Amino acid sequence: MALFNRTPRAPLEYSRTLWLRGWVTAVMVFLYAPLIVLMVFSFNDSKRNVVWRGFSTKYYVKAWNDSTLVEALVNSLTIAALATLFSLVLGTFAAIMLWRFRFPFKGAVDGVMSLPIIVPEICLGVAFLIFFAAIDWPSGLIWPFNLSAITIAHITFCFPFVTMVVRSRLASFNKEQEEAAKDLGASEWQAFRDVLLPHIRPALVAGALLAFTLSLDDFVITFFTAGPDTITFPVKVYSMVRFSVTPVVNAASTVLIILTVVLTALALKYQGVKSIAESH
Amino acid sequence: MTEAKLPIISIQNITKRYPGAPVAAVDNVSLDIMPGEFFVLLGPSGCGKTTLLRMIAGFEIPTSGTILIDGQDMAAVPPNKRPVNMVFQSYAVFPHMSVEQNVGYGLRIAGVGGDEISSRVREALELVKLDGLEKRKPDQLSGGQRQRVALARSLVMRPKVLLLDEPLSALDAKLRAQMQFELSDLQDEVGITFVTVTHDQDEALSMAGRIAVMNKGEVAQLATPSDLYEYPANRFVADFVGSVNLFEGKLTLDEPDRAAVDCPGLGKVYLNHGVTGSHGSDVWVALRPEKIYLHVPGEGKAIRAAAQDAPEDHNLARGHIKGMSYLGDITLFEIKLDSGAMIRVSRPNLSRHDQEDFTWDDRVSMHWRADSPVVLLS
């Protein structure tokens, strides 16, 4: 009988187990169906988003011509880039400080440093609102200085993530390597550049990606810190959705998704995965 | 050491005390290392040997004392400016650089020209027999090869002294034995002073010109390998280097050309040379297992003939075999003496059937030559 002629399943050949295949498919659908629906309907030739009326790219054109939407996107990308840059530098040095040195109240500093990760975003948002109002942070400046408050807020909640990633990478660093570099004549800075930096590079890439995406899609904190004249992409989408979910929103979101996916893929291809694999 | 050479490294009253530690890691150590020497710091873990090595390299700052390298005080000289190079226990080969880049790193930092770098790197790799692997990354090398990279990386700098921290501990037994010879040969070839730290006495004995045995931050004895083994200065050295039977006793005879010790555990021990110690004082007798001869009782004449370098009833013992381990080249016996004390005896298996001579619970007699025991005062 055919049923009994099947070759038996090897111990790790899980892909041949029927229930497991079904389970994995269900998880995939659950995770990615909404994204796929969003992307598919961005090409829908209809004002309303529920029924498929044929293929069209007109909403991409419409989104491109919506100057406030483009402005919001440019703002978001600018904030994300600046926040990434600053949190990368700050976060890396904080990680190195906590890893390398012993100093009084180190435990307390360590705890306070990761506070922005733990504190609910809404609290941070309110705190920033009150803080910027209290110190009378100037608003209504010209671009890109009108983004300064949001950028500062973003750096605050992004850099602890960089610190976290870089620190876990530093834990696997063999300090004898740095000593070996110095033994061979390298100065403190040369040893850092030639030995420590290459070791933590994958963590820097991962940390930067994390900071960039966290900043790009942040809504709550941005909403509280944005002045009346500045708008970011998530805030703009939110205000558009309040009127109606048009395919313009879908189109803009699809562009953003593709942008982040491509960036991540490039970063992983040229730095991350390869050096992570090499170092283990 | 009678040559009128100046020491390449002179360690003077060096003490290292870590904050919060009750005892000093290195306690008032003074020693001179001569140019071209293969010097070994030997001791159990925590004895301060690595700390001492790291102070020579400049990675630890001495609490007090002076280190001179080639006559120059090193107190204010940072590690990257010292004329020494170190091979680390983990080798610390840079994983993101190729073999070639690793070996050339120090020269690049020193600003040596590209042509000279490549010729010196090639030379160094030939020296450690790694030529042909220039382009490999460290993760494509075996443990032994990585160690050679670390060696070449240091040797290429032409240091006055090469420091090696437990250089062979990460290698398997066969490779370690081979590298012991290679390191000795290499040292002969380049003529650089080697200072090695190890906890492995075989490694120390086979490679060293001189050995400083360290214990609890102090130098317990500084001697050549054979002196260390045959003339240990104290119980710690006797016990740490090789294996030894130790018996407490009282000095009963103390003359310039002979001495005798009465040990409750072992019996009367006679020595055909004088010892430093006063009559009646408490001493220890150290007797190496391989220096004891085993006999079947009843071979009385043979024993007497063999023990004729000692007075009657001296340098003799009797007991039962309590344990045996056959190790191929030798057989180890654990023997319970009639006094109740245990003694360890090793016996070479000179013929294929030697291990059949004795078995468990056999009654045996032992004797040793009058120049075999060592009398220790501390």
In a domain, B358, yes or no: yes
Mind listing the pLDDT tens digit for each residue in A63-88?
A: 899 888 999 999 999 999 999 999 99
pLDDT at B106 over 50: yes
In a domain, B197, yes or no: yes
Q: What pLDDT is stored for residue A48 in this prediction? A: 72
Q: Which of B236, B261, B276 is the last residue of a domain?
A: B236
Mind listing the pLDDT tens digit for each residue in B48-99?
A: 999 999 999 999 999 999 999 999 999 999 999 999 999 999 999 999 999 9
For residue A183, what are the β-bridge partners? none
CA-CA-CA-CA torsion sign (B185, B186, B190, B191): negative
Q: Which of A174, A186, A187 sits opposite B90 (nearest CB)?
A: A174
Place of tokens 């390299």: B57
- Same domain for B160 and B266: no
Q: Does B146 touch chain A (CB under 8 A)?
A: no
| Cross-chain Cβ contact A176/B88 below 8 Å | yes
- Same domain for B69 and B177: yes
Rg of chain A, C-alpha, whole Å: 24
Q: Does B137 touch chain A (CB under 8 A)?
A: yes
Chain B: residue whose CA lies nearest to A200: B96
Contact residues on chain A for B96, CB-CB shorter than 8 A? 198-199, 275, 278
- Same domain for B260 and B228: no
Q: Does B61 touch chain A (CB under 8 A)?
A: no
pLDDT category, A53, cuts 50, 70, 90? confident
pLDDT at A196 over 60: yes
Q: What pLDDT is stored for residue A279 in this prediction? A: 44
- Same domain for B370 and B279: yes
Q: Across residues A93-121, what is the average pLDDT?
A: 90
Cβ atoms of B337 and B300 within 8 Å: the answer is no
Q: Across residues A227-231, what is the average pLDDT?
A: 81
Phi/psi-derived region of residue A218, left when phi > 0, alpha when psi is between -120 and 50, beta in every other case: beta
In a domain, B192, yes or no: yes
In angstroms, the CA A238 to CA A240 distance is 5
Q: Does B43 touch chain A (CB under 8 A)?
A: no
- Same domain for B117 and B247: no
* CATH at residue B318: 2.40.50.100
In a domain, B167, yes or no: yes
| Cross-chain Cβ contact B80/A183 below 8 Å | yes
Q: Could you give the percent of chain B with pLDDT greater than 70? A: 96
pLDDT category, A4, cuts 50, 70, 90? low
Identify whether A144 is preceded by a cis peptide bond (ω within 30 of 0). yes
- Same domain for B257 and B162: no
Q: Which of B211, B236, B261 is the last residue of a domain?
A: B236
Calculate the alpha carbon distances from B301 to B297, B313, B314, B317, B354 in Å.
10, 13, 15, 15, 21
Q: What pLDDT is stored for residue A98 in this prediction? A: 92
- Same domain for B146 and B88: yes
pLDDT at B173 over 90: no
The helix or strand, by DSSP H or E, that contains position B245, with its residue range, turns out to be strand B245-255
**Comparing A47 with A39, which gets the higher pLDDT?**
A39
Mean pLDDT of chain B, nearest integer? 90
pLDDT at B3 over 80: no
- Same domain for B160 and B139: yes
Phi/psi-derived region of residue A175, left when phi > 0, alpha when psi is between -120 and 50, beta in every other case: alpha
Q: What pLDDT is stored for residue A177 in this prediction? A: 95
pLDDT category, A277, cuts 50, 70, 90? very low
Q: Could you give the percent of chain B with pLDDT greater than 90? A: 67
| Cross-chain Cβ contact B86/A194 below 8 Å | no
Cβ atoms of A161 and A214 within 8 Å: the answer is yes
Q: Which of B57, B95, B110 sits opposite A279 (nearest CB)?
A: B95
Residues shown for chain A? 280
- Same domain for B185 and B330: no
- Same domain for B331 and B199: no
Q: Across residues B305-328, what is the average pLDDT?
A: 84
| Cross-chain Cβ contact A177/B89 below 8 Å | no
Selected for mutation to probe chain A from B81, B82, B84, B86 (highest A CB count within 10 Å) is B86
In angstroms, the CA A261 to CA A256 distance is 9
Least confident of A212-221, A244-253, B254-263, B322-331: A244-253
Q: Does A110 touch chain B (CB under 8 A)?
A: no
Q: Which of B59, B95, B106 sits opposite A184 (nearest CB)?
A: B106
In a domain, B204, yes or no: yes
How do B193-198 and B38-42 pair as beta strands?
parallel
pLDDT at B188 over 90: no
In angstroms, the CA B289 to CA B334 distance is 10
Q: pTM of the entire structure? A: 0.81
Rg of chain B, C-alpha, whole Å: 25
* CATH at residue B215: 3.40.50.300
Q: What pLDDT is stored for residue A49 in this prediction? A: 67
Selected for mutation to probe chain A from B55, B80, B86, B149 (highest A CB count within 10 Å) is B80
Q: What pLDDT is stored for residue B65 in this prediction? A: 95
In a domain, B1, yes or no: no
Q: Which of A183, A198, A278 sits opposite B79 (nearest CB)?
A: A183
Q: Does B51 touch chain A (CB under 8 A)?
A: no
Q: What pLDDT is stored for residue A280 in this prediction? A: 40
Q: Does B90 touch chain A (CB under 8 A)?
A: yes
Calculate the alpha carbon distances from A153 to A4, A87, A205, B179 in Å.
65, 11, 21, 59
Contact residues on chain A for B139, CB-CB shorter than 8 A? 278
**Residue A55: DSSP 8-state:** B
In a domain, B32, yes or no: yes
Q: Does B111 touch chain A (CB under 8 A)?
A: no
Number of domains in chain B: 2
In a domain, B3, yes or no: no
Least confident of A3-17, B188-202, B270-284, B362-376: A3-17
Selected for mutation to probe chain B from A169, A184, A274 (highest B CB count within 10 Å) is A184
Q: Which of B219, B236, B253 is the last residue of a domain?
A: B236
Q: Across residues B190-202, what is the average pLDDT?
A: 92
Contact residues on chain A for B77, CB-CB shorter than 8 A? none
Contact residues on chain B for A179, CB-CB shorter than 8 A? 57, 59, 79, 86, 88, 92
Contact residues on chain A for B59, CB-CB shorter than 8 A? 179
Cβ atoms of B360 and B334 within 8 Å: the answer is no
- Same domain for B259 and B158: no
Selected for mutation to probe chain B from A169, A172, A183, A195 (highest B CB count within 10 Å) is A183
Domain of B21, in residue numbers: 9-236
CA-CA-CA-CA torsion sign (B251, B253, B258, B260): negative
Q: Across residues A118-143, what is the average pLDDT?
A: 89
Among candidates B301, B302, B303, which has minimal Cα distance to B318?
Answer: B303
Domains and CATH numbers, chain A: 12-56 (no CATH), 60-278 (1.10.3720.10)
Mind listing the pLDDT tens digit for each residue in A134-186?
A: 998 887 778 888 889 999 999 999 999 999 999 999 999 999 999 999 999 99
How do B193-198 and B161-165 pair as beta strands?
parallel
For B350, phi then psi, to 5°, come to -75, -25
Q: Is B134 helix (H, G, I), strand (E, B) or coil?
A: coil
- Same domain for B211 and B293: no
